Amino acid sequence: MNTTAARRHEVLVLGAGYAGLSAAIQLAARTRKRGNVRVTVVNPYDRFTERLRLHMTATGQSTAELNIPELLAGTGAAFVRGWVTAVDAEAKTVRIDDDRILRYDTLVYGLGSIADTATVPGVDDHAHTLDSPTDAAALARRLARPGAGAIVIGGSGLTGVEAAAEIAEQHPELRVVLLGRQEPGEGMHPKAKAHLDAVLTRLGVEVRGGVEITKVLPDSVELADGSNVPAAAVLWTSGTRVSPLAAAAGLTVDDRGRVVTDSALRSVSHPDVYAVGDAAAIQQRYGVMHGTCQSGMPTGVHAALSILRVLAGRKPKPFRFGYYHTPVSLGRGDAVVQFTRPDGSPRRIVLTGKPAVTYKETVTAAPWPTFARMKKMPAAGAFWPHGGCHTRIRSTK
């Protein structure tokens, strides 16, 4: 028997999105020479999903193929492919869909969020989503059919705006209708909103704000005022939901099912569980963070550094995060970047047009260079632009 392996501290990372993979790579890279910590990543797919680019996949454009085992190569982290079906927080075990039981000493819960297809009747049966490359590819095939008809995007938030602009640009023959409770770009500086509105108009997107979709039918959507909007296909981008597994495991969750954390990103009810990304309800001075790719990687890295401090017998430091900007693509040739205060409120500084395209493509570049730098991360940390954010990782020493 390998006594060294028997004494290893088992860290299980659930979910290999931006947050989960950042936690796994950071932690494994920093502990691989010690031999007393083993990091295992569980994810249902081998492919890393760049959620920031799924609207491109949905219009038939090629994006990078990123393989999770390859991204983990050289860190010492193991990869297990499977769907998580249950978490037993008392026994410290996780069950996956082939009935394997995985044990942990420390759990990083990063199962993320998906489109909320349950709240509005008919969405689950008749609407497309952008939850995965498979979902996006299915929409791309639908859009490519001759005479595809009217495409309705349900939800006028930034995901809906990016999708509407991309579809309208790539498929000018289609009627694209963007519906939502709010006006597109609501909350942006007037200059940013004016540019966003102008581009959507130029692309021919029909925008209707201040409306509520109450039902999705096979060939239309029904609105709260009783009217119907014809739809050959519906893309649903209105709201998200998280996995019920955390609540079922007995972890303390908020009213949306997100794991409530302390300042170090540990579950307030089970401190051996760290929650990251969209799966976590993280309190900051300005309120609870909203899930974005901008905040996902910093939470993953901070969780890794917190685990390292605890393993070394030290107290983890509090997580502090401030928003910096909101980059929004408007097709391949246009964009708007709204710079923000730490609480996410808009500043007067705005980029539009080609400069905004260049900026957004720079900060949302494919993540493998960032993950590669994490593998070689010195103790003092570094500054990385990625995922729509700039992330400062400080030393834990």
Higher pLDDT, 117 or 291: 117
Least confident of 27-41, 200-214, 231-245, 364-378: 364-378
C-alpha span between 265 and 262 (Å, rounded): 5
CB under 8 Å to 107, separation ≥6 — which residues? 11, 12, 14, 87, 89, 92, 94, 272, 273, 274
H-helix or E-strand spanning residue 204: none
Q: 256 and 186 in one domain?
A: no
Q: 67 and 105 in one domain?
A: yes
pLDDT band (50, 70, 90) for residue 377:
low
pLDDT of amino acid 248: 97
In three-state secondary structure terms, 300 is helix
CB burial readout 219-253, b (16+ within 10 A) else e: ebbbbeeeeebebbbbbbbbbbbbbebbeebebeb
Least confident of 84-88, 113-117, 163-167, 293-297: 293-297
Q: State pLDDT tens for residues 321-364.
A: 999 999 999 999 999 999 999 999 999 999 999 999 999 988 87
> What does the pLDDT average to over 213-219?
97
Task: Kindly tell me if the per-residue pLDDT of 368 is higher than 70.
Answer: no
Rounded percentage of the chain residues whose pLDDT exceeds 70: 89
pLDDT of amino acid 376: 62
- CATH number of residue 135's parent domain: 3.50.50.60
Contact call for residues 11 and 71 (beta carbons, < 8 A): no
CB under 8 Å to 198, separation ≥6 — which residues? none
The answer, as to whether pTM is greater than 0.85, is yes
Contact call for residues 272 and 92 (beta carbons, < 8 A): yes
| 378 domain residue, yes or no | no
Q: 282 and 225 in one domain?
A: no
| 189 domain residue, yes or no | yes
pLDDT of amino acid 391: 39
Instruction: Name the residue range of residue 138's domain.
Output: 123-236
pLDDT of amino acid 121: 97
The 8-class DSSP code of residue 266 comes to: B
| 368 domain residue, yes or no | no
| 373 domain residue, yes or no | no
For residue 181, what are its two tokens? Answer: 């409770």
pLDDT of amino acid 392: 37
Q: 92 and 17 in one domain?
A: yes
| 364 domain residue, yes or no | no
Give the chain's end-to-end CA distance (angstroms, integer).
34
Q: 106 and 47 in one domain?
A: yes
Task: Kindly tell me if the per-residue pLDDT of 372 is higher than 70.
Answer: no
Name the domain count of the chain. 2
Q: 284 and 221 in one domain?
A: no
Task: Kindly tell me if the per-residue pLDDT of 6 is higher than 50.
Answer: yes
For residue 348, what are its two tokens? Answer: 């007067």
C-alpha span between 295 and 282 (Å, rounded): 11
Q: 225 and 273 in one domain?
A: no
